[in-house]
Structure 1
Amino acid sequence: MEIRLDFLNWLDHDTSMKILGCLQDPADLVRVSSVSRSWRHFVIANGLCKQLCLRMFPHFLRVDCVIEPSCGNEKASEVGCSKFVEWETLKREHKAYAFLAQGCLLFPFKECILDAISASSTDNYPVESIRNTLLQGDHSEGRPSYWSSKGQRDAEVPETLVYKLVADICVITEIDIQPFQAYFQRGSPIYSAISVRFLMGHPKCPMGDPLGEPLDDTAHDKFIWTYSSPEFPMAQENSLQNFKLPEPVVCIGGILQIELLGRVQRQEMDDLFYICVAHVQVKGRPLSPAFGVEMLGPSGKFVLKALSCDPPSLPDDDCLISWWTFAWAS
């Protein structure tokens, strides 16, 4: 006769935690929590989904709290006994972090740039505006389409391009940049940078919506950067060059800055160095409308908003839908 034992009832707490801590996929933890009431209680009470999510994506260590605005989260003093409030908080975090971790892995890849915010300089605005970099290729309506910096005698002077992303939380994996080739100049020079670096972060103050016309401005006093990539070499080629980040980066706050470092091409007309970009793409997984954030000042801490108590519109993925149903089971 086969004997079945529930190891959670036979093993001590620490050993059970070590066993379940070996699970590396949030979907597996959600399945574990659906085995029985006691297993679900163990997973939720010990915050296993939250722990796994934070191991996978340390960027979420800056979460101050999780709220569900549409469910009307009340303050503890307005709800009842502290144990009830604590359990409701644990359940909310279990659902949110389970979906958050899996969403970072399974939500569909999309183009993540919403709009251009500013460039550190522009040579001939608005003809050579940063907004031209949102258009594919180097032509638009029969005319050259590109952004150009102002000319510099010093080839070491950097330039920056700042963009607003499509969501306040995006998992960014790669950025594509196409330097501009001035085919209308003698020799068809290519005004690339020597290298590029990427910064991600959030505004110091709320930004207007819509953003309005992009400005020539430095971004140092307007944004807080929470991620800085390694420096990538850029080829002096008229092609869409791919820069893949060493690992997926969770951009919290929805702001990306491209640093263009070093200049290689002088313009024959004035003997000054320029950098010109035809097109920029940012690829990743936006986590809206399922999640939003509310930044809590310069500390970098933020409120994570689970924006629906019901399953949001999901990709056509049976696996994602099934574990989401488990995660949100009461």
Structure 2
Amino acid sequence: MDGSRDFIQWLGQDMALKILLCLEDPSDLVRTSAVSRSWRHFVIANGLCKKLCLRKFPEASSFARVIESKNTVETVASGTDDSVERAYLEREHRVYASLSRDLTISKIENCISDAICASSTDNYPEESITNTLDPSDRVGHRASYWSSKGERNPSAPETLIYKLASQLCLITELHVHPFQAYFQFGFPIYSAKAVRFQIGHPKVPLDLESDERDELLEVQHFSDDEFVWTYSSQNFQWFRGESLANVKLPEPVLCIGGILKVELLGRVQTQEMDGQYYICITNVQAIGRTLSPAFDVEMIDEWGKCTLKYDPERMCDPSPAEILEAESSSRSHIHRFSESIRTWEQIILNTFRELDR
């Protein structure tokens, strides 16, 4: 050990940064920071956990600042400039490391928790948007679906808006199930021509526990003015006759603000009794990861800038199955990290041997 050298000091800052930024798993970066005090200082001082998080989840660039419940900048404001800066960097390291981990290992599930409103509803409440929260197309002895109002124009769009289970969700897939009218001749499917998804936040906090909920659900003419949309997907075509639109997003999207809008673009099916075009949806799901209650956001402006809040005391306790899965994953990561270290050592040694020649 007396003749050993710290490879970060040996290589220099630029080369060491280039190597450590090749890490893909946040757990590997946390383990790197636990090797020694000098490595921990290097990881924290260069904000590597934040850089990794932004690389994997670009939407995190909306976080203008981070606040940890028991460690804010104000608590060390009386110290020197260096101590304030060090405390700020250490806090960012903890918060972004925890955020990246939660975005990687939290349970995959349907992230929609409630329905907010639809741009139109044909028969309220029988055909309300709340029916789309149930995956079944029948409840009891009646059909369960949302239906738009009829339109003569087949290009007329419709909009469904939902509340997500958390202010921060990582969405990977969206499922939209159109209704097939089994009680009509020919069993027609009332789908749309295309579907698009938007993510955002309300301008004013919504209180869905009050009468406001019923007012929103009953509204027949919807306005986007109540929300700010910070992400919009491409248009996904819906082929005529498809009974389910499963859209896997090109890259997982970090949803900040807790609101999902489903835009149904164009109509394909008329109703025989009135000759008008309708869109009817049985179920909508946003598949992804809902973050722990330890994380929350506070919007700063209407362009999506926000404060990321972190309260480690609100971290959910994992179930026994999740603990076993995490331990298995951890062993795999440790083995992979060890292999990576050996590979880096071999590359570095070979490089210097070539230089010696």
Indicate if the aligned counterparts of 1:76 and 1:82 stay in contact, CA closer than 8 A. Answer: no
Q: Could you say which residue in structure 2 is the equivalent of 1:292?
A: 296
Q: Counterparts of 1:127 and 1:245 in 2: how far apart (Å)?
A: 32
Indicate if the aligned counterparts of 1:291 and 1:307 stay in contact, CA closer than 8 A. Answer: yes
Q: Could you say which residue in structure 1 is the equivalent of 2:121?
A: 122
Q: Could you say which residue in structure 1 is the equivalent of 2:327?
A: 318
Q: Counterparts of 1:237 and 1:134 in 2: how far apart (Å)?
A: 22
Question: 1:223-274 CA distances to partner (integer Å, 9 max, x unpaired)?
Answer: 1111111111224447343111111000000111111111011111111100
Indicate if the aligned counterparts of 1:179 and 1:236 stay in contact, CA closer than 8 A. Answer: no
Query: Structure 1 residues 8 and 72, CA, compared in 2 at 3 Å: closer, same or farther?
Result: closer
Question: 1:119-147 CA distances to partner (integer Å, 9 max, x unpaired)?
Answer: 01001111110001111221001101110
Indicate if the aligned counterparts of 2:133 and 2:284 stay in contact, CA closer than 8 A. Answer: yes
Q: Counterparts of 1:181 and 1:173 in 2: how far apart (Å)?
A: 26
Query: Structure 1 residues 180 and 236, CA, compared in 2 at 3 Å: closer, same or farther?
Result: farther
Indicate if the aligned counterparts of 1:192 and 1:276 stay in contact, CA closer than 8 A. Answer: yes
Query: More deviation in 48-57 or 226-235?
Result: 226-235
Supply the AA of the counterpart residue of 1:229. Answer: S
Q: Counterparts of 2:282 and 2:6 in 1: how far apart (Å)?
A: 61
Q: CA deviation at 1:152?
A: 0.4
Supply the AA of the counterpart residue of 1:206. Answer: P
Structural mapping, 1:251-290, within 5 Å: 251-290=255-294
Indicate if the aligned counterparts of 1:117 and 1:215 stay in contact, CA closer than 8 A. Answer: no
Q: Counterparts of 1:30 and 1:304 in 2: how far apart (Å)?
A: 20
Question: 1:23-67 CA distances to partner (integer Å, 9 max, x unpaired)?
Answer: 222111111100001110110011011111111111011111111
Query: Structure 1 residues 25 and 231, CA, compared in 2 at 3 Å: closer, same or farther?
Result: same
Indicate if the aligned counterparts of 2:102 and 2:292 stay in contact, CA closer than 8 A. Answer: no
Q: Could you say which residue in structure 1 is the equivalent of 2:151?
A: 152
Q: Could you say which residue in structure 1 is the equivalent of 2:16?
A: 16
Query: Structure 1 residues 24 and 74, CA, compared in 2 at 3 Å: closer, same or farther?
Result: closer
Percent identity between matched residues is 52
The 3-state SS of whatever aligns with 2:229 is: strand
Query: Structure 1 residues 45 and 320, CA, compared in 2 at 3 Å: closer, same or farther?
Result: farther
Query: More deviation in 265-274 or 227-236?
Result: 227-236
Q: Could you say which residue in structure 2 is the equivalent of 1:48?
A: 48
Supply the AA of the counterpart residue of 1:285. Answer: R
Q: Could you say which residue in structure 1 is the equivalent of 2:234?
A: 230
Query: Structure 1 residues 86 and 29, CA, compared in 2 at 3 Å: closer, same or farther?
Result: same
Question: 1:135-191 CA distances to partner (integer Å, 9 max, x unpaired)?
Answer: 122100110111000000000000010000000000001111111112222222211
Q: Could you say which residue in structure 2 is the equivalent of 1:30?
A: 30
Q: Counterparts of 1:98 and 1:320 in 2: how far apart (Å)?
A: 17
Over the aligned positions, Cα root-mean-square deviation in angstroms equals 2.1
Indicate if the aligned counterparts of 2:124 and 2:218 stay in contact, CA closer than 8 A. Answer: no
Q: Counterparts of 1:162 and 1:114 in 2: how far apart (Å)?
A: 11
Query: Structure 1 residues 299 and 177, CA, compared in 2 at 3 Å: closer, same or farther?
Result: closer
The 3-state SS of whatever aligns with 2:107 is: coil
Q: Counterparts of 2:37 and 2:25 in 1: how far apart (Å)?
A: 21
| 2:195 pairs with 1:196 | yes
Q: CA deviation at 1:207?
A: 1.4
TM-score, with length taken from structure 1: 0.91
Q: Could you say which residue in structure 2 is the equivalent of 1:328?
A: none
Indicate if the aligned counterparts of 2:73 and 2:87 stay in contact, CA closer than 8 A. Answer: no
Supply the AA of the counterpart residue of 1:162. Answer: I
Q: Counterparts of 2:135 and 2:49 in 1: how far apart (Å)?
A: 40
Query: More deviation in 270-279 or 24-33?
Result: 24-33
Q: Counterparts of 1:246 and 1:222 in 2: how far apart (Å)?
A: 28
Q: Could you say which residue in structure 2 is the equivalent of 1:249?
A: 253
Indicate if the aligned counterparts of 1:189 and 1:265 stay in contact, CA closer than 8 A. Answer: yes
TM-score, with length taken from structure 2: 0.85
In structure 2, stretches of 5+ residues that fail to align are 334-357
Q: Over alpha carbons, which structure has the higher Rg?
A: 2
Query: Structure 1 residues 75 and 116, CA, compared in 2 at 3 Å: closer, same or farther?
Result: same
Supply the AA of the counterpart residue of 1:233. Answer: Q
- Alignment length, in residue pairs? 322
Query: More deviation in 229-238 or 153-162?
Result: 229-238
